[in-house]
Amino acid sequence: MGTLLVVLLVAVAAWIGWTLWKKPDANEDGKVDHADALVAAQRVAAEAKAKAASLADVNKDGKVDLADAKEAVAKVKKGRKKKAE
């Protein structure tokens, strides 16, 4: 479990680093400093949150709710039936 956490933290740090590599002056104030790293981390967090929400919205109705969970369970059951036959 600890290894998974370390791998996740390294992946997030790499994602922030890649964001800064593409655009070093993230807040466009004319200098590269710690504030740019904060802006890059905020952008990465917003992007990750949007991606997670889009993946969790299984039925693509614009909201994550119980209907999404039911549809996901139905897809898993459907997939299992095909493989078992």
Q: Where are the domains of the chain?
A: 2-84
Give the separation between CA 11 and CA 72, rounded to whole angstroms: 27
Give the separation between CA 73 and CA 85, rounded to whole angstroms: 19
Whole-model pTM: value is 0.62
Confidence label for 1 from pLDDT (cuts 50, 70 and 90) = confident
Judged by phi (left if over 0) then psi (alpha if -120 to 50, else beta), residue 73 lies in alpha
Confidence label for 44 from pLDDT (cuts 50, 70 and 90) = very high
Whether the pLDDT of residue 57 is over 80: the answer is yes
User: Whose CA is closest to 18, among 29, 8, 10, 28?
Assistant: 10
Looking at residue 83, its pLDDT comes to: 52
Whether the pLDDT of residue 85 is over 80: the answer is no
